[in-house]
Amino acid sequence: MRILYIDIDTLRPDHLGCYGYHRNTSPNIDRLAMEGVRFDNCYVSDSPCLPSRAALYSGKCGIRNGAINHGGAAADPVIESATRGFKTLEDNFVVRLREAGMYPVTVSPFGERHSSFWFYNGFREMYNPGRSGAETADEVIPAALEWLDRKGTTANWYLHVNVWDPHTPYRVPKNIPNPFENEPPPGWMTEEIRRTTWDTYGPGSAQEPGGDFLGTHTAEQMGAAKQIDSMAAYKSWIDGYDHGIHYADQHVGQLLAKLEQLNVLHDTMIIVSSDHGENFGELAVYGDHQTADHITNRVPLIIRHPKGLGGRGRVDRALHYQFDFAATVLDMLGQDSPESWDAESFLRSLECEREGGRNFLVVSNCAWSCQRAVRWDRYILIRTYHSGLHNWPDVMLFDVENDPHELTNLASERPELVHQGLAKLESWVTDEMRRSTEAVDPLWAVMREGGPFHANFGSPSYATYSQRLRDTGREQYADDLEQRRNRLMFKP
């Protein structure tokens, strides 16, 4: 079997045509969905970028693999000590692919961008485009096409191709016209909702979109409005994001054309997914991935099997962790998943063309905030331990079936559901820590450092942002932020 894994950074599913989006952002990805299975409720266990890929390639949630932050003590996998043999990380997904007879290759700048050199473990060939994640798709795809020209007709390869165009600052070359200039943005955003995201604070809020809360001019670099101060400004951000998706999708088309040219498309399984989504007003965050919620942790997952395994054009609405596809791929290759993994194969349900997922999921984000969330039934409960320079309450509950953009917090009116969610979270933490090789939950290592790497109460960024709030007439929010800091860091 040949396997092509297309990894499009920062891709939220509801901005793809096959997931119901009103703009034609993704004709090539939509084609794959029509030829395979689309998973509607796939979530990364840990977000954003580094924790997500650490979970996928380790097969473990961040609470056990240890890599949950973008800096500090919890930005690397747990260090093996007495249990380390001649080699390390031998239960890694790519190592297991090799043991199953596959030839794994990656075309990605991820390892360099995040100094995550464990990522290369097991790959036979590694191609780093060399711009640390600043590449456009036209700088990434040629290396993949060249590799396919050389080795695409050989058997049993796994090719990981990673493009970044939907990630800020949006990377589409400026000479390419915006195909959505005359199309409206998503209809759920209204002036009233936009205003609530303006009259608040936090990195990514309407006054500091894209996490640009220190004035680094991210918006100016990508041609979007500097602030979300109008619906027209909101549209400029959506247009930039959707243009990035469309540009990435065009290059997906180039990969498919190459497989057809080589006459191997009929024997290639194609998987499309992402490392995380992107909030565009949800929880008052625009153009960033700072939350453990339905928007940041939910990702697309499309599996197009060459022989139609799982069905053609079928939709699976069961709850799945993203790393479950890694266990499923090993199962297809006749390999058991390592006992150390949290990942579980769904091959049996795929073969029967039925939905077979998890009863509930627990997802996290500890790079921009310290949050864990429980996703079950039609709900998501978000527990905030450190708000990451935002003013989120400690507990939020949303009905994501009827309120996918998380506008109405039901926590106060549905205490029985809050109790259910917190009980599930507590049981999950207990079970995971029983299986962990570490004595301490890494979330608390992040908390001891003053919080997440990008929004840390102990960093100069805190004082700079607090002063910005005062300078922009938001003194009450600066006071609130100070109270939050004192509550976490300076208990009497």
User: Per the structure block, which two tokens stand in for 124?
Assistant: 């036979």
**How far is 284 from 303, CA to CA, in rounded Å?**
32
pLDDT value at position 488?
A: 86
Amino acid present at 150 = R
Which residue intervals of 135-204 are DSSP H helices? 137-151, 191-198
User: Per the structure block, which two tokens stand in for 57?
Assistant: 């390639």
- Summarised one tens digit per residue, pLDDT across range 222-233 is 678 899 999 999
Inter-residue contact 55 to 68 (CB < 8 Å): no
**How far is 436 from 67, CA to CA, in rounded Å?**
13
Amino acid present at 345 = S
pLDDT value at position 84?
A: 83
pLDDT value at position 216?
A: 58
Provide the CB-side half-sphere exposure for 100 (13 A, CA).
29
Each of the 492 residues of the chain gets a pLDDT tens digit; together they read 999 999 999 999 999 999 999 999 999 999 999 999 999 999 999 999 999 999 999 999 999 999 999 999 999 999 877 778 888 889 999 999 999 999 999 999 999 999 999 999 999 999 999 999 999 999 999 999 999 999 999 999 999 999 999 999 999 999 999 999 999 999 999 999 999 999 999 999 999 999 777 765 555 556 788 999 999 999 999 999 999 999 999 999 999 999 999 999 999 999 999 999 999 999 999 999 999 999 999 999 999 999 999 999 999 999 999 999 999 999 999 999 999 999 999 999 999 999 999 999 999 999 999 999 999 999 999 999 999 999 999 999 999 999 999 999 999 999 999 999 999 999 999 999 999 988 899 999 999 999 999 999 999 999 999 999 999 999 999 999 999 999 887 554
- In three-state secondary structure terms, 286 is strand
Q: Which residues contact 308 (CB under 8 A, 6 or more apart)?
A: none
- pTM exceeds 0.85: yes
**How far is 95 from 122, CA to CA, in rounded Å?**
5
CA-to-CA separations, 387 to 41, 357, 370, in angstroms, rounded: 25, 31, 7
User: Per the structure block, which two tokens stand in for 136?
Assistant: 């456009």
**How far is 6 from 258, CA to CA, in rounded Å?**
14
Provide the CB-side half-sphere exposure for 39 (13 A, CA).
31
For 2-355, CATH gives 3.40.720.10
pLDDT value at position 80?
A: 78
**How far is 172 from 241, CA to CA, in rounded Å?**
10
Candidates 312, 342, 347; CA nearest to 330 is: 347
Q: Output DSSP code: residue 177.
A: -
pLDDT value at position 215?
A: 64
Q: Output DSSP code: residue 78.
A: P
CA-to-CA separations, 202 to 232, 233, 389, in angstroms, rounded: 21, 18, 5
- Summarised one tens digit per residue, pLDDT across range 356-410 is 999 999 999 999 999 999 999 999 999 999 999 999 999 999 999 999 999 999 9
pLDDT value at position 492?
A: 40
Q: Which helix or strand (DSSP H or E) is residue 444 part of?
A: helix 442-448
**How far is 257 from 278, CA to CA, in rounded Å?**
29
Candidates 375, 398, 397, 396; CA nearest to 385 is: 396
Domain boundaries for CATH 3.40.720.10 within the chain: 2-355
**How far is 37 from 399, CA to CA, in rounded Å?**
25
Burial of 68 (0-12, 13-18, 19+ CB in 10 A): buried
CA-to-CA separations, 294 to 42, 152, 162, 401, 426, in angstroms, rounded: 10, 37, 23, 10, 20
pLDDT value at position 268?
A: 98
Amino acid present at 296 = T
